[in-house]
Amino acid sequence: MKIKLPVFEGPLDLLLHLIKKNEIDIHNIPIASITEQYLEYLAIMKSLNLDIAGEFIVMASTLMEIKSKMLLPIHEEEGEEIEEEDPRKELVERLIEYQKFKGLAEKLFNRKILGRDVFTRDQDEEEGEGHIELSLFELLEAFKELMEKRGLNDFHDITLDKLTIQDKIREIMEKLRKVGSSITFDELFWEQGSKTELILTFLAILELVKLRLIRVYQEKAFATLYISLTKK
């Protein structure tokens, strides 16, 4: 039986992740490279049986269309180049607007509501101040790198049993309760031998993050990934 888990971030989040990862100027996106990486992520998500909403496919088509337009020759009229609108303009505007909206939404989400339109600093935020929470795509990136270190680059042809994912969820929760503190992302995979076990563990982590039972974070950007139980 194959398991499908809901994706809790969208195509614009994936594009922003790729822009951040590649240290790209959002106003000058190299469409060919970004499109290739975007499609690679979609292939991994499909192989892991993560639900890929229709908007991911629409964005893939949009990127391909922009890529095609940018490959078209520049038109000339009477020996002069005709200045045409950058095919990336609309996408860039969407990304900038979404980035601002997302930043505002995250600030509001991390506050407890005292009264209507009144917010205060959350206790969990104070205790975890300075920690960087990881997005779905950052987790995918970390898992991809882990698989490559193990020499397991192929995510295909894995059949997963729903019961075994539930077992992994219980196993992770028991381990975190036992240690009573954070453990590293890699540490959860040390005892997992087969490719199937590695993927099951990763899917269990995604499900626990979605349920807000655990959090995956870094002390600073590009540092070690840690996993801990969320505070109740």
Closest CA to 227 of 164, 159, 177, 163: 177
Helix pair angle (195-210, 136-149), 10° resolution: 160
Q: Give the chain's length.
A: 232
| Structural domain spans, the chain | 1-73+84-109, 131-232
pLDDT of residue 92: 96
Structure tokens at 219: 């002390």
Pick from 57-66, 108-117, 125-134: least confident: 108-117
The per-residue pLDDT for range 140-152, each reduced to its tens digit, is: 888 988 888 888 7
Cα separation, 25 vs 19, whole angstroms: 7
131-232 CATH, one of 1.20.210.10, 1.20.120.1200, 1.10.10.580, 3.30.70.100: 1.10.10.580
Which amino acid type is present at position 31?
I
Beta carbons within 8 Å of 199's beta carbon, 6+ residues apart? 48, 155, 158, 160
Cα separation, 208 vs 216, whole angstroms: 10
* pLDDT over 50 at 90, yes or no: yes
pTM to 2 decimals? 0.77
Cα separation, 96 vs 63, whole angstroms: 16
Distance of CA 129 to the CA centre of its chain: 21
How confident is the model over 132-147, as a mean pLDDT? 86
* pLDDT over 50 at 122, yes or no: no
Structure tokens at 17: 């992740």
Cα separation, 178 vs 180, whole angstroms: 5
pLDDT of residue 82: 58
